[in-house]
Chains A and B, each alone.
Chain A
Amino acid sequence: MAMTVLSRELCAGSDDLARVMRALLEHTDAWQVAGRANVPFADLVNILQQLRERGIVEFCGSQLTLTPLGAEWARALHVAAAEPVTCQACAGSGFEFEPFARAYAEFVPLLAQRPPAESTYDQGALTAESVFRRLAFMYAQGDIAAKSILLLGDDDLLSVALALTGLPREIVVVEIDPRLCQFIQRIAESRQLNVRVIQHDAREKLPSDLRAHFDTFITDPSETIQGLLLFVEKGLAMLQPGGAHAGYFGVTLIEASLHKWNLWERHLLQNHALVFTHISEPFSLYAKGDEVGGAVKVDFELLREPSAVPWYRASFFRLETLSEFVPPVDYDSNPRDELYQDAESLEEAWLVLANGAAQSPIPIPQEFLNASAQRAAQAQYGLGRHVIAEFWDCENVQSETGLADAIQAAVRGARATLLDLNVRRFYPQGYSAIALLAESHLSLHAWPELGYVALDVFTCGEADPQKIVQALETHFKPRDVEYLKIPRGRARARAAELEMQN
C-alpha cells in the first residue's frame, strides 16, 4: 500500500519505480543506472531526485547508493539485482563480427577522426564495436552481401564500415550534415570505396532516382512519434516493391516510452505490408561523452561529469517487406510535426531539473487516439463504412497521370493498407482504378468527357473512408460533390456485440 502511495507521489507507474530500483541494485554509477533502467531519461532524473528527498538513495559525486530504507523498499517491490547474463562474446547482440576483423581494424581510426557530434542534427555516434555488431547482425540476415543499401543519416559512419567489407553492391548515404558528408566523401575517395553521398534534409522529399530502388535501408531516427515514422517511412519509400527487403532502425527506451513503441509498431504494421522479424536487446552502445545531448546544461551533481564508459544504448529493429509490399509515396514532413523533441527527450531532463516540477505528459497527436477509444468508435459503424461519392465538373480529370500516386497517398493518409492497385486507361477516353485494401477496397471510374468521376470507398477497421474521398477530391478538384455514406454489416455486428455483453 505504502508503495502505491510512493509511486503515486512520484508521478510514475510502479513499474518505472521498480525498474529504477533494480538498476540501483545493479549499478552505482548514475549514467549506468540511466542506461539500465529502461525508463525515459527525464522520468529517471525526476524519480532519482524524489528518491533522494525521501532518503531512499544517497548521492555522492556521480555515485548512487541505496540507503537501508531504500533496500527495504526494493524488497517490498520484489526487486532484486539480476545476475549479469549478457553474453560476453557478443555483448548480447547474438552475432559475432570476427569475419570482419580486418575491416574493423581499418574502421576504428576512421571513426575516431569523425567530426564531433552536433546536437542541431540530433547526432551521436555508436562505438566502433556496436557499429560492427549491427553490421554482423544485418549480414547474418542476408541483407548486406550483394545488396543495394540506403543509409538515412549516418552519424556512425556505418556506410564506411559496410564499404570496407566490400560486400554490398551499392551504398548510398543521405545525410543532412555537410561536415559528415564531406568526411565520408573524402574517405570514400581516398580508399576508393563504393559509397555515394547525398547531402539532403530527410524532412523533404528525397531525390526521385532513389525511390523504390533499394534492397535494404538503415536509419537511426529521432524518437518523437512523427520523427521515427518520418525516417522509417522514407526508408520504406526507397525500398523496391515486393517481399524480402529489409529495413533497420535503432530505438531506445531512454527517450521513448513503450507507449510510443506501441504507436510506431501499430502504425507501421497497419500502413505497410511488412512484418517485424527482430527486436534486439539494446546492445548498441553510444560512444562515451558523445551520447545524444552529452553536455549537461544544468548543475546536477550526479550528472555533472560526462560518463566515463558508454551508457546510452539502443535496441535494433528489423522489418521485412511482404510480397504485396508497395513502396509508399515519399512526402515532405509537416512543419508542425515535432521531429526532434518531446517530453521523453533527453533534453527534457534539464527542464525537469531547472523547474523542479513534474513534467507534462507527452502530447499525443489526434490520429493516435488510444486503441480502445477507436474500437468503441468502430462498434458504431458495424463491420465497415462505405462512402459513395459523385464528383462533377472536375478540373483535373482529363488524364490518369498522377492518379496512382494520389490513390497511394490517399490510402496512406487514411491509415489504410494498399495491397494492390490497378489503373486502366480506355480508348478513346476514360479510365478506371481499383485498389484492394487490407481494409476492403476502393474503385473509381472517370468520364473525362463529362468531367465526372464515380468513386466507391469501402473500409473496415480504423481506416476512415471519408479521408480517402477527401484526398481524391483534392486530386480531381470537382466543382460539385455528392456523398452517400452506408454503414455495412451493422445489424449482425450489433447482435454479436450484444451477445458478448450478455
Chain B
Amino acid sequence: MSEYQNLKSKLPDHITQGDVKKILAAILSENAPWDWFTRARIPFPFAVRILRELQDAGYLAFANAKTQLTPRGQTLAAELHATAEPNMTCPRCAGSGADWGALQNIFERYVEIYNARPRNENPEFDQGAMTPESLFRRLALMIHLGDLQGARVVNLGDDDLASVAIGLTGLAQSVTVLEIDERIAAYIQAVAQKYNLPLTVRHQDLTQPLPSNLLGAFDTFVCDPPETEQGLLLFVEKGLALLRAGDAHAGYFGATVMEASLAKWARWQKQLLNKHEIAFTHILPPFTEYAPWPDEKPLPDIPALATLAGRPWYRFAFYRLETLPAFQPAADFETELSQVFYFDYEGYYEAWKV
C-alpha cells in the first residue's frame, strides 16, 4: 500500500489528495507553522485535520521546537510530487500589486481612528478586522480602477472601518454603511461628524429587507462576507440589490480559501454569473491580512501550533465584479440567520471539534 493510500484511509472523504499535497508543500516551504495555512490555500479545518493525521501516523515529528517531515513523510511528499516552493510574493506590496504611498497623508489619521474603535468583537457577527496596510492596498486598487471617484459607495458591514478610510480620501460622493453592530455604527457616526466626512450609517441586519430608498442607488459596494455558501451569497447579492442598473458599477468582496474550499468558490462563481449580468474582473491573491483577533485560539494537540502566531496569518483574496449593460439590481430578500451561519465543515471553528 502506498503511503498516500495509508493516510487516505484515515481521512474523511471531503479531504482530497490535492489538499494533502498542498499542506505537504506548505510544510516543506515555510518554517513558521501558522504560515503553512497561508501557503496551503485549503480550508483551515481540513489543514488541521491533515496535520493531526500526519502527526499521529508518524509522517510529521516535532523535535527541538521544530516540526519536520519524517523519512516516511518525505516518501509521502515525493509520492504526491509535493516540493518546497520559495515565497515569490512581492514584499513591497504583499502580492496586491498596489502601492498605497499616495494615500500616506490619510493613513496615520485612519490608524488613529482604527486603534480607538470599539473592540471585544462579537463572534456572533463574524467580525475581525484587516490590518490597516491591507485596507489601504484595497483602497489603492479601488481608486486605480476608478470605483471611488465621484461614486456613491455602500459598505455592507464595516468592522474594518473601510468607510472611514474611503471618506478620508475625499474622492467618493457619499459613503453609506449598513452595520449590524450598534457600537461600531455609533463609532463610525461619531468619527464622521468629528471629521466632517460624507458618511451615513444605518443599523441594518442583512438577513432583513433593505430600506427601499437604497435599492438600486449605488455605484460601488464593498463587503467582507461570512464564508458559508449562503453567507457569502447573502452579502454579495444584497450588494447587487444596492447597485444601480446598467453597466460599469463595481462590487468588491473578500473571500478566503482558509474557510472555503475551491469547490465552494466554484459554486459561488457559477451562482453569481448565472443569476446576474456581471463579470468577474479581478480575483487578486490573498494580500488582505486579518489582524490577530480576540478569540483566536491555538491548537494545543499540535505542538507546532500550540502557541498563537502573534502576527497576521489569516488572509483573503480580493474579488472585483463589474456590471454589464443589461444589469438590473438583484431582488431584495429576507432570510434567517440559521440559513447563513449553519454547520459548514470548512469553517474556522471546526478545527477544534475533534
- The chain A residues found within 8 Å of chain B, CB to CB, are 13-15, 18-19, 22, 77-80, 82-97, 99, 136-137, 139-140, 142, 145-147, 242-244, 258-259, 261-262, 265-266, 269-270, 273-281, 283, 315, 320, 322-323, 370-372, 461-462, 500
Tell me if A244 and B22 are in contact (CB < 8 A): yes
Contact of B273 among A87, A244, A269 (CB under 8 A): A269
The reply to whether A82 and B324 contact each other, CB–CB distance below 8 Å, is: no
What would 12 A/B residue contacts be, using CB atoms closer than 8 Å?
Answer: A15-B248, A85-B102, A94-B285, A94-B287, A139-B85, A140-B87, A262-B279, A269-B266, A277-B262, A279-B284, A322-B266, A323-B16
Given A13-B325, A145-B83, CB of A140 within 8 Å of CB of B98: no
Q: Which residues of B contact A82 (CB under 8 A)?
A: 143-144, 146, 149
B183 at the interface (CB under 8 A from A): no
Q: In whole angstroms, how far apart are the Cα atoms of A281 and B25 in the complex?
A: 27
Distance between Cα atoms of A148 and B276 in the complex (Å):
37
With CB as the reference atom, state the residue of chain A lying closest to B269: A269
Q: How far is the CA of A317 from the CA of B325 in the complex (A)?
A: 23
Q: How far is the CA of A80 from the CA of B171 in the complex (A)?
A: 9
Contacts of A137 in B (CB 8 A): 88
User: Could you say which residues of chain A place their CB within 8 Å of the CB of B247?
Assistant: 13, 15, 258
Closest to B29 in A: A142
Name B's A-contacting residues (CB within 8 A): 16-18, 21-22, 25, 81, 83, 85-100, 102-103, 140-141, 143-144, 146, 149-151, 171, 173, 246-248, 262-263, 265-266, 269-270, 273-285, 287, 317, 322, 324-326, 331
Could you say which of A18, A94, A99, A262 contacts B93, with CB atoms under 8 Å apart?
A: A94
Min CB distance, B244 to chain A, in Å?
A: 11
Return B29 CB to nearest CB of chain A, in Å.
9
In the complex, the answer to whether A13 meets B248 with C-beta atoms within 8 Å is yes
Contact A95–B269 (Cβ < 8 Å):
no
In the bound complex, do residue B262 and residue A320 qualify as a contact, i.e. CB atoms below 8 Å apart? yes
Contacts of B85 in A (CB 8 A): 139-140, 142, 145
Query: Would you call B144 and A78 a contact (CB within 8 A)?
Result: no
Q: Is the CB of B144 within 8 A of A85?
A: yes
**Given A90-B92, A92-B97, are A78 and B279 also a contact pair (CB < 8 Å)?**
no
Check A280 against B97 for contact (C-beta < 8 Å).
yes
Q: How far is the CB of B156 from chain A (nearest CB, A)?
A: 22
Known: A13-B246, A90-B97, A269-B273. A275 touches B143 (CB 8 A): no
Report the nearest A residue to B277, measured CB to CB.
A371
Question: Could you list 10 further interchain pairs (A-B, Cβ under 8 angstroms) beyond the known A85-B98, A87-B96?
Answer: A80-B171, A87-B92, A89-B90, A92-B98, A94-B97, A139-B85, A259-B279, A261-B279, A262-B277, A277-B317
Known: A278-B283, A279-B282, A322-B263. A243 touches B270 (CB 8 A): no
Contact partners of A280 in chain B: CB under 8 A: 97, 282, 284
A277-B265 contact given A19-B146, A90-B90, CB 8 Å threshold:
yes
